[in-house]
A = this chain, B = another copy of it.
């Protein structure tokens, strides 16, 4: 049984706390959050204790920490936890500043047991897609389409602190592209726009983008993003291989169909990312248990830096309307 702490008692911290508790080999010992009420509430619900980060790091019985606090703390807490000998499960993104993130490589890269929470890699459907691609039975993967449209835009406050759509939202798709292609993109063209809400433009961000990545070996990836779909959480991937197409489709809220004079209609798409990726979050905790048991993280610090580098190049491409090299 591995004792762990969850840092951050917000929406995603609660998910990880619940999954930790439900895992047969993990016990949630501490909850850390500067907001005392939030920390206490989550601790009470889970049978854990409230503590400070210092207390957590000083407790030698704590084997790991889950960093689910605000993005600007990820690097700092990660460095401190790794320094204290803990295994780390850190939410994405690793940071919003590529330079700053790269500076942490000596400590967090290499063999450091830091697991970066790119949750989509743990979705059973995308995992199945990855396995099918890598089985080789469909021949070489040639091109890739990633559609990632949110149901509805976040608040403008969220947008302002998000680091921009590429670092906040597309970063998932950059990670999926790297993971599924099995190599790094060498250049990027990002056509961004604000179509959903003028307030997003006023906040200096975009809400819509189409992106083309090219890899050294000549493969091509298209990413489609929107902050608002109008029809639910659209998370689809098409992998065009030499012998055919592999596709991962959307999750529907039920299998019920309604046939009327206007056609056959499914039930709505799953609408909320915590529903859509509920199983992925559970699988992440299972993987963290493996890391606590000595396994290497399947996705780590360098993956976070690589995705961030693509996001920076995409932003520059969008701003200059030019094709840009990705500086790895």
Question: Which residues of A come within 8 Å of B, CB atoms?
Answer: 22, 124-125, 128-129, 132, 138-139, 142-143, 145, 149, 187, 189, 191, 193, 195, 208-210, 212, 214, 218-220, 222, 224, 226, 229-232, 234, 240-269, 321-323
Are B214 and A191 in contact, CB atoms less than 8 angstroms apart?
yes
Of the candidates B218, B254, B323, the one whose C-beta lies within 8 Å of that of A189 is B323
Are B210 and A230 in contact, CB atoms less than 8 angstroms apart?
no
CA distance A321 to B324 in the complex (A): 10
Please indicate the chain B residues that have their CB under 8 angstroms from the CB of A22 in the complex. Answer: 22
CA distance A106 to B212 in the complex (A): 39
Are B226 and A240 in contact, CB atoms less than 8 angstroms apart?
yes
* Least distance between A323 CB and chain B CB atoms (Å): 6
Are A245 and B261 in contact, CB atoms less than 8 angstroms apart?
no
The 6 closest A-B pairs by CB, nearest first: A265-B265, A245-B259, A249-B255, A244-B260, A231-B259, A230-B244
Are A224 and B145 in contact, CB atoms less than 8 angstroms apart?
yes
CA distance A149 to B230 in the complex (A): 28
Are A231 and B212 in contact, CB atoms less than 8 angstroms apart?
no
Are B125 and A256 in contact, CB atoms less than 8 angstroms apart?
yes
CA distance A322 to B256 in the complex (A): 35
Are B210 and A254 in contact, CB atoms less than 8 angstroms apart?
no
A242 closest partner in B (C-beta): B230
* Least distance between A220 CB and chain B CB atoms (Å): 5
Q: How many copies of the chain does the oligomer comprise?
A: 4
Of the candidates B246, B248, B254, B323, the one whose C-beta lies within 8 Å of that of A125 is B254
A144 closest partner in B (C-beta): B210
Are B242 and A218 in contact, CB atoms less than 8 angstroms apart?
no
Q: Given known contacts A264-B269, A322-B323, is B231 in contact with A128 (CB within 8 Å)?
A: no
Are B229 and A244 in contact, CB atoms less than 8 angstroms apart?
yes
CA distance A304 to B24 in the complex (A): 36
Q: Given A128-B253, A226-B240, A249-B255, 5 other A-B contacts at CB below 8 A?
A: A124-B254, A143-B226, A230-B241, A230-B261, A231-B261
14 A–B pairs (Cβ distance < 8 Å), ordered by A: A142-B195, A145-B145, A145-B224, A195-B218, A208-B220, A230-B245, A231-B245, A244-B258, A245-B259, A247-B258, A250-B255, A263-B265, A264-B265, A323-B323
